[in-house]
Chain A
């Protein structure tokens, strides 16, 4: 009797790694066998939410399991991000992240998570660029024209900023740093009020997201000066890119991506990466991206992970050069 217990334990101990191994194999094969929760750090109705719903619908069709979009807006998506960082890495709780994921590190002292270490990057859904607009009564033939105009103004020019701590804010900072123009940031709570003050000629210029900028440019309520992408945008090829005037202008993108908690099974990550890429290349996924001035992307999970590491550093450099004080 006294011997049997340890022996049983020994047998169990020997079997454990084996069953664990079998377990993971079985998990990857059976995935997904229960509903998938997509947590989004933005409210229903916006672009990030639209991306999440596209992915959710596609996954639900492919896997035949319910896929739920769980909106948890707040604190620049860090509330949603923290929830996913602390979730089980079983592939059933995923994060639809946007630029704030890599940017928040440069804005806040105490983020409750590490944007790199705490996550298993799965798939980059899309990269978006912005457009530098000027108010309707300021027409420039080129970016150089605008820089010359700014240099003539005794008090410099004003930049509308659609949301402090947003990627558009960082783009503004970067542009002021690189072009050495005298510019003052006028902060707004979001893009819509900033645009209203631009077309009302209360601010001189602003960086606006493609989807919001296009109708204004088409109707003549604002003038497009340049795009932030390294090359001209395919559906907007008469607008130059900034680096045609400012060579070596560092490129940053706004982006949307799918991530899971750190420690996810690589087989599941790979499978999700392939399926999500397919979804975004599908008709409705590509349509959605086109509305935001983007195109479907096909990169591996490893490449996405490298992108995130680089992006954190890119924003850090801009924030430090722009004297952004961490809060």
Chain B
């Protein structure tokens, strides 16, 4: 489990490298800043500051970059809660309950909850990493295309859990998302839905689409209102409220642990990572809750699940990076670049030969999480002032940031056009009671499911008997059926017994 000798070596390594500690707070602040501005992303921040690490030793360099990663992970929660803008796919579920809380005037509490959930989620993720870094990589490797296909299909079923509208509207919205995900050059080498435009060859960019569906459509909705929080007496920024939110989150250790461990495990699956982890943890929290109907209306448990899961998925994605040398996402890809800059190659050999450095990285990241608690409190105190800003000023500022930021993400006009187009579609969908969350989930997992299907077909030669030899696929398939069937049967009976619920949208 833990190599005690290397663990001690790691502690002394950290103790003897003061530079490693000096770079962490600036890294956290950079991360918080980039993460909290819609359109700027953590991976942009890490790429921008990558050259600065040239002049550092390996350990401080990596700790600096992971500090940006950690800070940015929580930074993304701020616009999700305050403005309903998930800046990354990993904070989509944060907005579901965080934003309704902010609208109710509980913004400070929501930010406090998010901070504690993030910090503890990061700790859980790295704690798991500490114990499993030697063995989990082998487990992750056993997931091939057929296993990933089942996981992707399970991802698609999240649409049903996240859907609060009627079943037909939820399915329609989900299918829209899946259809959007098919635009571009497919995994089978076909070009679809591009109308001959080179700009659509790589498909609809996911992050600008997310910003459009959630943020732009919400901003349209807010037109006519004067402030985010209607009641002026609640438009306050108070440390007491932040602290009360923090203690509220800390009083739910089981929920934190559940979200954190789900995030770490799902985050370790390359490619799926953080974008599904937060949705899956949210869906689980909702299903297990005694009052699932309050989810999407500002239930702190939903926020805790989402934030603890997306933070711990950072530790999960570090598993594949350290153990296999494979980046699971854009952020870890930059870290891999930093490894190369310092002539270090991640992978099993790196772990075998340098266990002290690996442990130092893990322990350093856990310490970062605790530093984030302090830096973060100050940061969210400032962020809380958003409620005092008149919407007349804020809507244009945020719209401009979102559009400009999406240009930075795609490097061409596809980003801004996507924001505007999906913003209009999202606004119409909300108006007519279609759940935008279902569309976003379809967009996120649709392309993945198709790619894995193509690969499964190719590897098996189209022979269904192939999966009989893949016990993990069979086990995952059984789990999928077990989790879906009772709900299907249950809802059939419930629909007969009760009148259909009135349509409304989450978030």
Once the chains are docked, how many angstroms separate the CA of A186 from the CA of B149?
14
Q: In this assembly, does B340 line the interface, its C-beta being within 8 Å of a C-beta of chain A? A: yes
Contact among A44, A74, A197, A219 for B199, CB-based, below 8 A? A74
Find the residue from A72, A112, A186, A324 having the highest chain B CB count within 10 A: A186
Contact among B143, B185, B345, B411 for A327, CB-based, below 8 A? B185
- Counting from the closest, the 8 A-B pairs by CB-CB distance are A202-B144, A200-B141, A219-B349, A75-B201, A327-B191, A215-B345, A75-B198, A44-B47
Contact B202–A187 (Cβ < 8 Å)? no
Q: In this assembly, does B458 line the interface, its C-beta being within 8 Å of a C-beta of chain A? A: yes
Contact among A44, A189, A202 for B451, CB-based, below 8 A? A189
Contacts of B496 in A (CB 8 A): none
Q: In this assembly, does B490 line the interface, its C-beta being within 8 Å of a C-beta of chain A? A: no
Interfacial residues of chain B within 126-146, with CB under 8 A of chain A in the complex: 141-145
Known: A79-B198, A79-B199, A187-B454. A196 touches B347 (CB 8 A): no
Q: Nearest residue in A to B337 (C-beta to C-beta)?
A: A45
Contacts of B326 in A (CB 8 A): 192-193, 195-196
Q: In this assembly, does B60 line the interface, its C-beta being within 8 Å of a C-beta of chain A? A: no
Q: In this assembly, does B348 line the interface, its C-beta being within 8 Å of a C-beta of chain A? A: yes
Once the chains are docked, how many angstroms separate the CA of A165 from the CA of B201?
12
Contact A291–B340 (Cβ < 8 Å)? yes
Once the chains are docked, how many angstroms separate the CA of A200 from the CA of B187?
20
Contacts of A73 in B (CB 8 A): 411
Once the chains are docked, how many angstroms separate the CA of A199 from the CA of B201?
30
Known: A75-B199, A75-B202, A327-B191. A187 touches B185 (CB 8 A): no
Q: In this assembly, does A158 line the interface, its C-beta being within 8 Å of a C-beta of chain B? A: yes
Q: In this assembly, does A142 line the interface, its C-beta being within 8 Å of a C-beta of chain B? A: no
Contact B411–A72 (Cβ < 8 Å)? yes
Q: Nearest residue in A to B184 (C-beta to C-beta)?
A: A75
Contact A165–B47 (Cβ < 8 Å)? no
Contacts of B412 in A (CB 8 A): 72, 74, 79
Known: A200-B141, A215-B347. A164 touches B189 (CB 8 A): yes
Q: In this assembly, does B270 line the interface, its C-beta being within 8 Å of a C-beta of chain A? A: yes
Interfacial residues of chain B within 452-475, with CB under 8 A of chain A in the complex: 454-455, 458-459, 461
Known: A158-B459, A186-B455. A82 touches B141 (CB 8 A): no
17 contacts between A and B (CB under 8 A): A45-B47, A74-B199, A74-B202, A74-B414, A78-B198, A79-B412, A110-B196, A164-B185, A184-B461, A186-B455, A186-B459, A189-B451, A192-B270, A197-B145, A202-B144, A327-B185, A327-B189
Q: Mark A185-217 against chain B: 1 for CB-CB distance below 8 A, else 0.
A: 111110011011101111100000001001110
- How many residues of chain A are within 8 Å of chain B by beta carbon? 46
Contacts of A185 in B (CB 8 A): 458
Size category, B interface: 35 or more
Interface set of B (CB-CB < 8 Å, partner A): 47, 50, 141-145, 185, 187-191, 196, 198-199, 201-202, 270-271, 320, 324-327, 333-334, 337, 340, 345-349, 410-412, 414, 451, 454-455, 458-459, 461
Contact A155–B461 (Cβ < 8 Å)? yes
Contacts of A200 in B (CB 8 A): 141-144
Q: In this assembly, does A37 line the interface, its C-beta being within 8 Å of a C-beta of chain B? A: no
Q: Nearest residue in B to A80 (C-beta to C-beta)?
A: B411
Q: Mark A153-189 against chain B: 1 for CB-CB distance below 8 A, else 0.
A: 0010010000011000000000000000000111111
Contacts of A199 in B (CB 8 A): 141, 324
Contact B187–A189 (Cβ < 8 Å)? yes
Q: How many whole Å from B190's CB to the nearest CB in chain A?
A: 7
Q: In this assembly, does A295 line the interface, its C-beta being within 8 Å of a C-beta of chain B? A: no
Contact among A108, A110, A203 for B459, CB-based, below 8 A? A203
Q: In this assembly, does A237 line the interface, its C-beta being within 8 Å of a C-beta of chain B? A: no
Once the chains are docked, how many angstroms separate the CA of A324 from the CA of B189?
9
Contact A45–B334 (Cβ < 8 Å)? yes
Q: How many whole Å from A208's CB to the nearest CB in chain B?
A: 12
Known: A74-B414, A79-B412, A219-B348. A196 touches B324 (CB 8 A): yes
Q: How many whole Å from A154's CB to the nearest CB in chain B?
A: 10
Contacts of B270 in A (CB 8 A): 192-193, 196
